[in-house]
Structure 1
Amino acid sequence: MSIADSPSRPLKASLLIAALGVVYGDIGTSPIYTMNILFGRAGLPIDVVNVLGALSLIFWSLVLVVGVKYMLFVLSADNDGDGGVIALATLLRRRSRKRARSLVLLLGVVASAMLIGDGLLTPAISVLSAIQGLELVAPELTEVVPELTVLVLVALFAIQHRGTARVGKLFGPVMLVWFLLLAGTGLAWIQEMPGVLAAVDPRYAFWFFRDNGWTGFLTLGTVFLVVTGSEALYADLGHFGRRPIQMSWLFLVWPALMLNYLGQGALLLSAPEHPGNAFFGLVSGFGLVSGDYWVIGLIGIATLATVIAAQAIISGLFSLFRQLSDLDYYPQLRVRHTSARQAGQVYIGSINWLLMTGTLLLVLGFRSADGLANAYGLAIGGVTLMTSLLFLTFQRRVKQRGWLTIFALGLLFLGVDLAFLVALATKLLSGAQVIVVISGCMLLIMLTWRWGQDRLREGQQRAAPLLKDFVASEAVQSAARTPGSAIFLTHTACSVPQSLLHNFRHNQILHHETYVLRVEIEDAPRVRLENKLEVERLGSGFFAAVLRLGYMERPRFDTILDLLSQTAYPPSAEHPSLFLSRARIGTANIRPLIRWRARLYGFMQRNTPSPGFLLDAPPEQLIEIGVHYEL
């Protein structure tokens, strides 16, 4: 149970407001571009059936996908309080049969690759859509809107190293103002044409499909833009808890979104001469002298809201890459915590600049929100489908639901997801292939890393003797001892670490106390303090230690020493040495068909930071030994 859901703590308004800035950024900025894409250039003709039909599709998409699927059901599937597709996959891996474990985790990894592709698009389309509002007040700036967007995004990525801790308090209030503004501007136009409220009648969606046929069905690919932030609701479960996310949605976010969408629909029906942008057109007629002042103000707060939404996406991707790294599907990364209070606020420099490069290339390549919309949605559509499959498995395996319940939920969830996905698949011919390629490359990298790591461990186990046999050997028993303590990192439970083996063979000397330490990343997000470190005395000055951490935790050398000092076998030396091996990969004996994969793994291995660097081990205490391996 998360802190936010603890019955001993009341639900605070500050927690609800804070959730607005992190959880609802993507969904909250979708009104800027969705209706414009539906009825913009080469879009749907503006008539009563089309406008009310599109609004009905939007209304029921928010109800079924966000309100029913995520709010009522998926948010209940937490892994020790944490949510997200990786958290759900790791939870199911613990509870599944041995044969199904790999498949369950593979689904989570595939979904993660898609989320990464989608994460490049989200900042690009949201910020670009907001800045495109300048075309209404300064048409001469139309050609440089992409470049202005690039400047905003570069500034955003440049300040990522400062973290969200300092500015996080501003996120919630700004988004609160944003949602109130969405509601107010929409309500003003609904009063002009209250008949637009009839769109909540699902028959208008049916009539829309009847009149537009296959074209109407394909419109679902654009309607899906209103729910693309749904996965963020689930991923941020551990930060805020279930109740704040649900209450914020029910009493503010959903009403504000629908009022704005309905207001845009009323504008389209009552003012066909609107300036071409349904969102900014909501305020273009206000003001005593000119509506330009209102438009400029709305552009300013819209840009700020989209920057906050982009910030939330970027921070979420940092956490996702860290989880993948801890699960051994991505090389180890240099992670820096940016908040003393929130463990989830991290910064990864290499990922930050990689994301920035990809996002800027997308902005400059597509140059408009309409163009980006052609690529947007397919990846996240695949993620929502996989989330449904994993959730149904969770209901069957963990909750022990009957097949009738599983069938009913599956019919609802998978029916909606597949309808969206089929419509989104047509975007493969108009831009989505870029995101498919990006997601495919990320998946290839993740699976190749895991493949190489598995082969490397197998090679290490074959090359190294058993630890207990090594300790009992005559060579070790008669070896000279040097004062002090040494810690040798290992990846295997029973074998001698390569660093220990090579150090002993070359130097013929051992430390007075030798700790063989293995770090295990558990499926759970965190491990209790009393269960973190286990030490076994092997005799002859040798100790086998196992450090257990959750995938949301990060090992540090000073933390390891603190934990060791609290055990029954603390090191006698004040500054123990840390020994580790560095793999050098050879591909001479690899079959030609998979040699490319071995070379890719070798390239990643050479460019992976040293474990000692990742542990923040002091250089004067670190000894690194290179070891050659043939995959």
Structure 2
Amino acid sequence: MQAHNKQALAGITLAAMGVVYGDIGTSPLYTLKECFSPHLGLAVNEANVLGILSLIVWGLLLIVSLKYLSFVLRADNRGEGGILTLMALARRYVVGPKAWLLGMLGLMGGGFFYGEVVITPAISVLSAVEGLEVITPAFKPYVLPIAIVVLAGLFLIQKHGTASVGKLFGPVMMLWFGSLAALGLHGVISNPAVLAALNPAWGLQFLLHHQAVGFLALGSVVLALTGAEALYADMGHFGAKPIRLAWFCFVLPALLLNYFGQGAEILSNADARANPFFHLAPQWALLPLVILSTFATVIASQAVISGVFSLTRQAVQLGFLPRMEITHTSDHEIGQIYIPLINWGLLVAVIAVVVMFQSSSALAGAYGIAVTGTMVITSILACSVALRGWHWPAWLVAPLLAALLIIDVPLFAANVVKILAGGWLPLTIGVAAFMLMSTWKQGRKLLMERLNEMAIPLEGFIENMETYSPDRVQGTAVFLTSTTNGVPHALLHNLKHNKVLHERVVLMTIRSEEVPYVEQAQRIQIERLSNSFWRVLAAYGFKETPNVQEILDLCEQQDLHFELMDTSFFLSRETLIQTEREGMAPWREKLFVWMSKNALRATDFFQIPSNRVVEMGAQVEL
């Protein structure tokens, strides 16, 4: 049994290596190249090389090893991780204005993730294909077209799911990290002096000596840390233990060796700084290395694409985005989903970014601001959870937060100065995503207020219907309603226009909870309101997709029977009208109305048989 558990753990750890560490594992392709790029003007000498290496090494140790793996991974919401999950966890323990502020920070972090996910595939694949230029400059005109073809192929296969190719992720990334370690070891053996960079004094001396340029160099050093957020976001898929094992036993040693090897290569050959990663390899290994690095960057891109699908579903379920089509690509893995709107939007955005920036060096100017912004937000939210949720003493949390921000804020500030060099792109995407999510949340809240103002109290209405019943027709009417306080508008409209009531009326409310999964035993609550009126409350977590048929099956188990061919589903379809009433700013009202018009129909989202649905229109003044 123990041997079986060890084997299972090894398999999960290998899979985690393939998915979780794809992004951070491909950072050696471009990090050191950018640190010594002409825009910083750093001379190639021992002090500068060891200084940069020291900053990278201690960044990996402090931010990835200590902050994320030792601290943030503790903040799991029933095993799940990610910025919106962390936000939901923090808001559970905090009330009042502080809860609103934490919610805004979480949305901002989610927005930054959307900004990051556009850049990651572009810079990763471009930096891999650019290795062809090291083989011979004759390949240069083909780099861009090859990168676009690879990226287009990646997005085109998404609708088929990643279960089959996913099995290759672990072995390919294991080969990749093995290659990183081997190349790095070769470089270190040729110049062991680079290992002195393990002393943090080199990094501090570099910052103190170069000051302004040293501060700007942090904007390139942070490229080594991109993907750290994925460790937390993918916790629900693999668990904390395999993620930690993969990092400390394999990924971290391979990355450190490779960075040291690149540093040694630059010291022995100053021209190698143009692309130190590929210069580490002997000439015969260049083409296989380009092919392997392209596979590795595709895997890294796949990980962030899957991450943005997961984040989007969480945002929809938590009420931050309108309903949209979500397809499950696996019968076995609930986490494997495909969202067409997001996929095609990303494809267009990523190819536009590749065409606009044309090289990984140009893209490096755009990369980092979203990543470091998310890091700052994660520190604040995680410390809020530690203080309120875990009841850590304030004297411990306060210095911990200060220590985290002392590292995170300078990294963020160093990237803010890159706004004109391309940093505006992820920032713009992040702000746009934040505005969409906050507008939808606020708009839905305003809509509920307006509907409640118009609503008739349910208790008196049911009593009246039972006492002075209108004509009854055979069958069951299920009215989907978002509130439990008032009479559903679809019910009122049906009475007004058809002047009949069904023999049995079921008021069904589907709620999203701020937990990833809801236990099957707690999925539904059934309440009999009168002889002919019933209430069904169904709860789903933010990692689950609601399904009306599943709710009906669970009702059957509690002796509330439905004959589908004798059941009609009534939905209210609101037509929103802008007014001068106090609520949201006019432009946000317009945006909310537009988002509402383009939301997926409730029939499709809740998977209700379309031939059993009746939609009743209602006009609502915002």
Residue 572 of structure 1: CA displacement?
Answer: 5.0
Q: Distance in 2 between matches of 1:518 and 1:154?
A: 41
Query: Cα deviation per residue 1:6-62 (whole Å; 9 max; x = unaligned)?
Result: x98876211110001110011000000001111133342211111111000000000
Q: Distance in 1 between matches of 2:367 and 2:271?
A: 29
- Stretches of structure 2 that go unaligned for 5 or more consecutive residues are none
User: Quick one: which of 122, 125, 130 aligns to 2:123?
Assistant: 125
- Find the counterpart in structure 2 of residue 14 from structure 1: 11
Q: Distance in 2 between matches of 1:503 and 1:476?
A: 19
SS in 2 for 1:140: helix
User: Quick one: which of 605, 612, 627 aligns to 2:596?
Assistant: 605
Q: Answer yes or no: is the 8 Å Cα contact 1:136–1:275 preserved in 2.
A: no
Q: Distance in 2 between matches of 1:372 and 1:573?
A: 55
Q: Answer yes or no: is the 8 Å Cα contact 1:220–1:420 preserved in 2.
A: yes
Q: Distance in 2 between matches of 1:395 and 1:174?
A: 37
Q: Distance in 1 between matches of 2:570 and 2:139?
A: 59
Q: Does 1:484 align with 2:475?
A: yes
Q: Distance in 2 between matches of 1:620 and 1:436?
A: 45
Q: Distance in 2 between matches of 1:146 and 1:45?
A: 30
Q: Does 1:543 align with 2:543?
A: no
- Find the counterpart in structure 1 of residue 212 from structure 2: 214
Q: Distance in 2 between matches of 1:592 and 1:625?
A: 25
- Find the counterpart in structure 1 of residue 74 from structure 2: 76
SS in 2 for 1:516: strand
Code of the residue aligned with 2:280 in structure 1: it is L
Q: Answer yes or no: is the 8 Å Cα contact 2:329–2:336 preserved in 1.
A: yes
- Find the counterpart in structure 2 of residue 198 from structure 1: 196
- Find the counterpart in structure 1 of residue 170 from structure 2: 172
Deviating more after overlay: 327-336 vs 136-145? 136-145
- Find the counterpart in structure 2 of residue 315 from structure 1: 306
Residue 337 of structure 1: CA displacement?
Answer: 0.9
Residue 383 of structure 1: CA displacement?
Answer: 0.6
Deviating more after overlay: 320-329 vs 457-466? 457-466
SS in 1 for 2:365: helix
User: Quick one: which of 22, 37, 40 aligns to 1:40?
Assistant: 37
Coordinate RMSD, CA, aligned: 1.7
- Find the counterpart in structure 2 of residue 521 from structure 1: 512
Residue 146 of structure 1: CA displacement?
Answer: 2.3
Query: Cα deviation per residue 1:79-117 (whole Å; 9 max; x = unaligned)?
Result: 111011111111121111234222222211111001111
* Identical pairs, percent: 39
Q: Answer yes or no: is the 8 Å Cα contact 2:36–2:273 preserved in 1.
A: no
Residue 361 of structure 1: CA displacement?
Answer: 1.1
Q: Does 1:25 align with 2:16?
A: no
Q: Does 1:65 align with 2:63?
A: yes
SS in 2 for 1:624: strand
Q: Answer yes or no: is the 8 Å Cα contact 1:117–1:439 preserved in 2.
A: yes
Q: Answer yes or no: is the 8 Å Cα contact 1:557–1:615 preserved in 2.
A: yes
SS in 2 for 1:555: coil
Query: Cα deviation per residue 1:402-422 (whole Å; 9 max; x = unaligned)?
Result: 122113312321110011111
Q: Answer yes or no: is the 8 Å Cα contact 1:22–1:171 preserved in 2.
A: yes
SS in 2 for 1:487: strand
- Find the counterpart in structure 1 of residue 402 from structure 2: 411
Query: Cα deviation per residue 1:244-283 (whole Å; 9 max; x = unaligned)?
Result: 0000000000000000000000100112343831001111
Query: Cα deviation per residue 1:120-145 (whole Å; 9 max; x = unaligned)?
Result: 11111101111111112232332342
Code of the residue aligned with 1:86 in structure 2: it is L
- Find the counterpart in structure 2 of residue 531 from structure 1: 522
Q: Answer yes or no: is the 8 Å Cα contact 2:111–2:431 preserved in 1.
A: yes
Query: Cα deviation per residue 1:561-593 (whole Å; 9 max; x = unaligned)?
Result: 111211232235555222111111111445798
Q: Does 1:392 align with 2:383?
A: yes
Code of the residue aligned with 2:354 in structure 1: it is V
* TM-score, normalised via structure 1 length: 0.95
Q: Answer yes or no: is the 8 Å Cα contact 1:471–1:540 preserved in 2.
A: no
Q: Does 1:508 align with 2:499?
A: yes
- Find the counterpart in structure 2 of residue 256 from structure 1: 254
- Find the counterpart in structure 2 of residue 442 from structure 1: 433
- Stretches of structure 1 that go unaligned for 5 or more consecutive residues are 1-6
Query: Cα deviation per residue 1:56-86 (whole Å; 9 max; x = unaligned)?
Result: 0000000000011011111011011101111
Q: Distance in 2 between matches of 1:207 and 1:30?
A: 24
SS in 2 for 1:226: helix
- Find the counterpart in structure 1 of residue 374 from structure 2: 383
Q: Distance in 2 between matches of 1:180 and 1:193?
A: 20
SS in 2 for 1:553: coil
Q: How does 1:51-450 map to 2 (within 5 A)?
A: 51-274=49-272, 276-283=274-281, 286=282, 291=283, 293-450=284-441
Q: Distance in 2 between matches of 1:474 and 1:446?
A: 40
Q: Distance in 1 between matches of 2:480 and 2:100?
A: 26
Q: Distance in 2 between matches of 1:449 and 1:526?
A: 23
Code of the residue aligned with 2:23 in structure 1: it is D
Residue 306 of structure 1: CA displacement?
Answer: 0.3
Code of the residue aligned with 1:390 in structure 2: it is L
SS in 2 for 1:185: helix
User: Quick one: which of 545, 551, 566 aligns to 2:557?
Assistant: 566
Q: Answer yes or no: is the 8 Å Cα contact 1:471–1:477 preserved in 2.
A: no
Q: Distance in 2 between matches of 1:77 and 1:613?
A: 34
Q: Answer yes or no: is the 8 Å Cα contact 1:33–1:369 preserved in 2.
A: yes
Q: Distance in 2 between matches of 1:215 and 1:339?
A: 49
Q: Answer yes or no: is the 8 Å Cα contact 2:90–2:382 preserved in 1.
A: no
